[in-house]
Amino acid sequence: MKNKTLRIPIIAIIWRDACHAQNPDKYNTQPPWVVDCGFVVEENKDHIVLVRQFFDDGQCRHAMTILKHNIEKIQSVGMVRLPAHFISAPFLGSGE
């Protein structure tokens, strides 16, 4: 049986990050605006978990959890059509 081709959306999130300054002054203590791109593996009322890499079995690496109240904009970047050997969309592991 032939595998169904998976189509996975890629998104960009524009958000305000926290900052850390070892020697704080008025120039280096402002939270920076950043953009992260990737695949959404979890979303709830408080946050979005975005991953940048996943394997053909759906296991993920390089996750970023972004608080929704820090998000300015979420933008669709495109759609990835995966080769037939990809058997799963990205998902969070069980932690075991």
Identify the residue with better confidence: 76 or 20: 76
pTM: 0.85
Q: Please say if the pLDDT value at position 1 is more than 90.
A: no
User: Who contacts 13 (Cβ-Cβ below 8 Å, separation ≥6)?
Assistant: 35, 36, 37, 48, 50, 66, 71, 73, 74, 75
Per residue in 19-71, pLDDT (tens digit) is 888 899 988 899 999 999 999 999 999 999 999 999 999 999 999 999 999 99
Closest to 89 measured CA to CA, from 1, 36, 2, 10: 10
Beta strands 7-16 and 60-67 are unpaired
* CATH code, 1-18+35-91: 2.30.30
* Rounded distance between C-alpha atoms, residue 86 and residue 18, angstroms: 35
pLDDT at 3: 59
Q: Please say if the pLDDT value at position 13 is more than 70.
A: yes
Q: Please say if the pLDDT value at position 95 is more than 70.
A: no
pLDDT at 93: 80
**Sorting pLDDT into bands at 50, 70 and 90, what band is 4?**
confident
